[in-house]
Amino acid sequence: MAGLPRRLGHAEEATLGEHLEELRGRLFVMLGSIAVGTVVAFVFNDHVLNWLNRPLPPYHHRLLTTGVAEPFTVTITVCIYAGFVLALPIVLWQLWLFFAPALDPAAERKVLGLALFALVLAAAGIAFGYWVLLPRAVHFLVHYDRQHFLILPRASSYYNFVVTVLVGIVLVFQTPLVVLGLVYLGVLSSRTLRRHRRMGYLVTAAVALALPGPDPVTTFLELLPMWLLFEGSIRLAWLVERRRAKVAPASATLGG
């Protein structure tokens, strides 16, 4: 399309004004995609709200609102979040097109591979958070000390809880990507990770306690995948080191 910003070629020279013009165009595309995503989410807001309410017990599916305008404002807020999620691939792609010309083709392939890996991890995190973590955490919270409290979940508080838990678990599932980056930078090695495995478990436990989730059920369910991901990260670090060790002699031979 003629209206879309043109991607610069690798090492292509451009003035500051041309970079700013490209950035302005890409920001316009990103904001436009978020606006379109929000409109789509608003059109289907009934499906969006039903999807978010599913972890609740059946008798809590109609959430409490305490103001005349709150049903509308909460729905709009949820639709904006949903619109951003729908537009996220376009937003990330536009950012990538802006920064990619600064990378050589080999580095570009590596970054795209890492981005795909991060996307897979994020999808796994959302699936685990929605189908495993949220139902159990919500069930524990809405049934806690019912003999002393009249539990009427408020819409805004519940949706904020859902968002923070899902964002937290997505960040948790990025652990292998962080470890992989540190291994590439030479900060960590599989040998170091194995040697300090107990310390790694302690650090992951501290991170789980710091993540969103005010109850022990949420914290424990966040901690389990963190330990599994930590163990998987050790294996991943070993595979990366092994691959680099194979590539290094071949590069030295070609250089010679």
- Token digits for 11? 């090492």
- Token digits for 114? 């890492």
Task: Tell me what pLDDT residue 216 has.
Answer: 76
Task: Tell me what pLDDT residue 13 has.
Answer: 77
Cα separation, 71 vs 68, whole angstroms? 7
Q: How confident is the model at residue 253 (pLDDT cuts 50, 70, 90)?
A: low
Task: Tell me what pLDDT residue 236 has.
Answer: 86
User: What does pTM read for this prediction?
Assistant: 0.84
Q: What is the DSSP string of the chain?
A: -TTSPPPPPTT----HHHHHHHHHHHHHHHHHHHHHHHHHHHHTHHHHHHHHHTTS-GGGSS-B--SSSHHHHHHHHHHHHHHHHHHHHHHHHHHHHHHGGGS-HHHHHHHHHHHHHHHHHHHHHHHHIIIIIHHHHHHHHHTTTTTT-----BHHHHHHHHHHHHHHHHHHTTHHHHHHHHHHHTS--HHHHHHTHHHHHHHHHHHHHHSS-SSHHHHHHHHHHHHHHHHHHHHHHHHHHHHHHHHHHHHHHHH-
pLDDT exceeds cutoff 70 at 6: yes
Instruction: Tell me the CA end-to-end span of the chain in Å, nearest whole number.
Output: 47
Cα separation, 252 vs 99, whole angstroms? 31
Cα separation, 255 vs 27, whole angstroms? 43
Choose between 133 and 63: higher pLDDT.
63
pLDDT tens-digit readout, 156-183: 999 999 998 898 888 888 888 888 888 8
Report yes or no: 208 and 222 within 8 Å, Cβ to Cβ: yes
Listed in sequence order, the residues at least 6 apart from 84 whose beta carbon sits closer than 8 Å to its beta carbon are 34, 37, 38, 91
Task: Tell me what pLDDT residue 255 has.
Answer: 54
Cα separation, 233 vs 73, whole angstroms? 42
Report yes or no: 127 and 91 within 8 Å, Cβ to Cβ: no
Task: Tell me what pLDDT residue 1 has.
Answer: 45
Instruction: Work out the percent of the chain whose per-residue pLDDT is above 70.
Output: 92
* 3 state SS of 54: coil
pLDDT tens-digit readout, 107-141: 788 888 888 989 999 999 999 989 988 898 898 88
